[in-house]
Structure 1
Amino acid sequence: MRKFQQFWWGLLIFLGIFGGWGFHATSQVLAADKSYTVGKVNIGAELKTDGSMQVVEQRLYNFSGDYKFAYRDFKLQPNQAKIPGRTESYELKNFEVCEEKNCYRQLRPDQVNWQSPRENPVGTFTVRQLNDQTLRVQWHFSAVSVSKVFTLKYVVVNAATLHGDTTELYWQWIGSDWTVFQENVRVTLGLPMGIPDDQLQAWAHGPLAGVVAIPNPTTVNFYLPRLPSGQFFEGRVVFPKGIIWASAKGTSSLSQIQAQEAKFIAETQAKRLKYEQYFKWLARFLTGLAGVMVLGWIWMMWRFWGGYKDKNFFLLFFWGVVRGAGVEFSYPPREPP
């Protein structure tokens, strides 16, 4: 009987570990009274010959709980750590915020309750410059455990950068300040006519799964299946001068940009190789761990069987289950009277 007890205690400990982990994960989910996700992102951008870019961002928000407002921040200063060859700030204007059937009314920043944003009128939005580097668009609505599609429209007045021998668009489609992941990010960038096929180049920066494609000289597509929180997704495009006639001035050259991108590609390939090696070792470790668990289970069953050589030990194994179901049962089997 002692070995039988050891068997059941081992089984209970095994189930307790995994059951406790599942309960912990479930309790964490239940403890959050509200949350949201962004399930789909479509961004359309059109670069004009005056260097401006019209942008339309559409996001599917899935709300769980009561929500009254959302916001989107824009970085106005080029990231000098990336040596962009540009110091002029980006200028944004002509903002619009819409749902599927209606667009919101814009409020001046002094008409907005910034201390209690949930108290602002539903169906309104505002634009406020937080500092010399950040511009915020905030909109107000009512959502209780529903899904909503929000469309944000704006114009980047000086999106393009005119360098010495090339024109560049270097734009961050999604910044790293988001606290939730975003899925199915698709960006379609339209370019002016007249760019030669063999002189258009494009790169995507961000997670390793991001891809960029040039189906024709007036279109560049960017795609990312999932963008984790705290990470960014951006695109860079270069083409000959003369197509864009006005915009911000830059100090880089085509060769410098290509050298930067070659370095980024080498770093990305090294990172991808590192991740591949990591997952290979992880797969081996998990396979080995599974093998150890199976061997441990076999050993525990062997110890149990070794103490009960009766051919009817299966009845003993399921005795607790059968009794729990309310079925009359006895071990060892008794002869009928």
Structure 2
Amino acid sequence: MSAAARNMRLRLRALLVLAAVLCGMLAYPADAWAADYQCSQVDLTAVVETDGSATVTDQRIFEFPGDGEARETLKWLYAGFPENAEVKVKRVRLAPVDDEGNVVDEWTKLKSTTFQIPWRGGGRPEADGWAFDRFQDTLYAFVQDLPEKAVVEVTYKVSHAVETYDDAADFQWLYAPLDYAVDLHQVTAKVILPVAANAAVEPNENVLAWGHGPKDGTVEISQDGSITFTDPSVASSAYAEGRVMFPVGWLTNLSEEDRLANQGSLQYQWTAQYEEGWVDRDAHRLIMRDSLASGLMGACALFLVVALLVYARWGRERPPSFTDDYWCEVPDGSLSPAEMGRLWRWNHESPDDAVAMALDLVRRGIVGVRYKAGRPAALLLPTADRLEDDCLGADDRATLRLLEALAEGADRLTLADLSSFAHQRPQAFLEAEHAWQQGLSRRIEAYGFFDNGSRRAQRAMLVLAALLAVAAVLAFLRLGWFPALLSLATAAAVGVLANYTMRRSVRGNEITAHAKALRNWMRDGGWSFAACGLTVGERAELVPYGYLFGVLRFLKPLGENGRVLGTDAAEGAAAPVDAADQLAELAPKLSTAFDDALRVAHHRAEVRA
């Protein structure tokens, strides 16, 4: 099997592996980003007092890594209460439990400490303890040397927890806030009402309750005045909330301030209508959300399959007739080095093409090199009438005009002149380089090296990738992070496939096969072992291609005596005496100078703009 065929098969395998890895990552994303502990059970009890406050006992069973040295910062968010409510934590304690959740040892009471703002970013005190961030309603518990399984109990009181109206009291409780650190399992939240001594609880009459959150959650109103909300699981990206309405007369010790806060407002009928409408809207919203998410996932799978099929149809290179692994001649004598560079890198612009053309002009003696202290210092430009020489091609003339423009009419262009021109006239530098690149683009387009069908397919796939990226943003805002990640991953996969979809024409692929074989020959030591069979001129002719293919470092000087290419005799000193060695030494110097000047021109043009 040829090297070209092997490369194509390896590329396709890599793309398939990328698609499989993306799908695998998206199949189980939560495991990658969740905390390293779990919450297997949550039991909460809120006792509503006759003064409108609520005393809450929050018990959660956590499972930690089994190394016996777990060190965690646990967080609770106590939000969703009325604006004038105040949370006061009374006690935080923990104890180890067995597999059934029974306490098997003594409770350990954590000490309270003053909260420090740096702890929001991950800091912690030296000793175990707890602190309450009252500005963000967040409780922090700092514990180390945790058992594998433990129950953490928090007791807190919420003053002004109930909103009161003329006919009803309204208790709203966000018992599972959004964006908790881990998923919560087996969640049970119980509300105990202060039923008056001579009153009776009439479910759905004088006591109403609604639950908001997971669609598999349940609400149960008992005759003893307790309401139980249960959720098998609350995802870290979801929430669960309970709302209870009961007669305001049961709050016998309500303060005058709370009693008059919403005077003149009746709530029973309005709230019931609102909640019923909310349930209908929420159910419709959930159905639409699930439908859209399912549709997006199906579309992503379909688009990925289509992208793979498009790549298989238009992206796979045609097998060339040339299948040798090595080649030690110019890939195609009818192409200039700049045109070969464009074909090599799929018609992408690069300043390397201009450098390669300058090297080729030096090789042919059209442009000379002046040395100073043994190092190339300037390019010696030909006279203007030389541009009409019949031996010059379109790329030769364009490159000479570019060099003359950068030299500002002088007969030589020093490497320092490039930097000076870029600093003083950055816009002119960029315009000259751009005009040269545009002319090369027109000439390479005339060859028809790139398949038009694959080019259209590539554009369509790039548009599809962009649309999928936009869909990912919208999905994140409307559907959640999982559909968004799936869409984004599909956009990335389609974009990668699109990058490899364009293919070359039959002739272009044939020339590229020779270019790859030449690159292999240079890289794998052929330059050193077989160069003795090439003339000095033949070796020098290959140097610009070695520069384009990124293997210049493998072209070691061989020390042969040969003619010197355009060296200024007046400077005399220590220039390489071999043509190929001279070009190999000149290439990195010229490339660095041109790249630096181009970077400076871009920067100064942006600053001036």
Distance 2:194 2:32 in 1: 51
Amino acid at match of 2:91: E
What is the 5 A alignment of 1:136-147? 136-143=138-145, 146-147=148-149
Distance 2:142 2:207 in 1: 41
Distance 1:142 1:183 in 2: 23
**Which residue of the partner structure matches residue 258 of structure 1?**
272
- 1:26–1:239 Cα change, 3 Å: closer
The structure having more radius of gyration, on CA atoms, is 2
**Which residue of the partner structure matches residue 96 of structure 1?**
91
- 1:22–1:285 Cα change, 3 Å: closer
**Which residue of the partner structure matches residue 120 of structure 1?**
126
Is contact 2:88-2:156 (8 Å) kept?
Answer: yes
Amino acid at match of 2:54: M
Which is bigger in relative contact order (C-alpha 8 A, separation at least 6)? Answer: 1
Distance 1:265 1:49 in 2: 30
Is contact 1:195-1:240 (8 Å) kept?
Answer: no
TM-fit CA distance, 1:119: 3.6
Is contact 1:90-1:159 (8 Å) kept?
Answer: yes
- 1:26–1:143 Cα change, 3 Å: farther
- 1:22–1:54 Cα change, 3 Å: same
Is contact 2:177-2:239 (8 Å) kept?
Answer: yes
1:222 aligns to what SS in structure 2?
strand
Higher strand share: 1
Higher helix share: 2
Is contact 2:81-2:172 (8 Å) kept?
Answer: no
2:251 aligns to what SS in structure 1?
coil
TM-fit CA distance, 1:73: 2.5
Distance 2:28 2:278 in 1: 42
Q: How many residues align?
A: 280
**Which residue of the partner structure matches residue 60 of structure 1?**
61
- 1:91–1:195 Cα change, 3 Å: farther
2:228 aligns to what SS in structure 1?
strand
Amino acid at match of 1:72: W
| TM-score relative to the length of structure 2 | 0.39
| TM-score relative to the length of structure 1 | 0.66
TM-fit CA distance, 1:57: 0.9
- 1:24–1:192 Cα change, 3 Å: closer
TM-fit CA distance, 1:75: 2.4
2:274 aligns to what SS in structure 1?
helix
Is contact 2:52-2:159 (8 Å) kept?
Answer: yes
**Which residue of the partner structure matches residue 39 of structure 1?**
40
Amino acid at match of 1:49: T
Does structure 1 residue 202 correspond to structure 2 residue 204?
no
TM-fit CA distance, 1:161: 1.9
Bigger mean CA offset, 100-109 vs 232-241: 100-109
1:237 aligns to what SS in structure 2?
strand
Distance 2:249 2:71 in 1: 48
- 1:19–1:262 Cα change, 3 Å: closer
1:245 aligns to what SS in structure 2?
coil
2:211 aligns to what SS in structure 1?
strand
Does structure 1 residue 238 correspond to structure 2 residue 245?
yes
In structure 1, list runs of 5 or more residues that go unmatched.
Answer: 1-7, 79-86, 290-337
Distance 1:40 1:15 in 2: 41
Amino acid at match of 2:275: E
Is contact 1:90-1:158 (8 Å) kept?
Answer: yes
Distance 1:30 1:272 in 2: 25
**Which residue of the partner structure matches residue 179 of structure 1?**
181
TM-fit CA distance, 1:16: 4.7
Is contact 2:47-2:56 (8 Å) kept?
Answer: yes
Give the fraction of aligned pairs with identical amino acids, expressed as a percent.
19
Is contact 1:120-1:140 (8 Å) kept?
Answer: no
TM-fit CA distance, 1:260: 1.7
What is the 5 A alignment of 1:1-337? 16=17, 20=21, 35-64=36-65, 66-75=70-79, 78=82, 89-100=84-95, 101-109=106-114, 115=118, 117-122=123-128, 124-130=129-135, 134-143=136-145, 146-193=148-195, 194-197=200-203, 198-247=205-254, 248-249=258-259, 250-251=261-262, 252=265, 253-274=267-288, 277=291
- 1:29–1:232 Cα change, 3 Å: closer
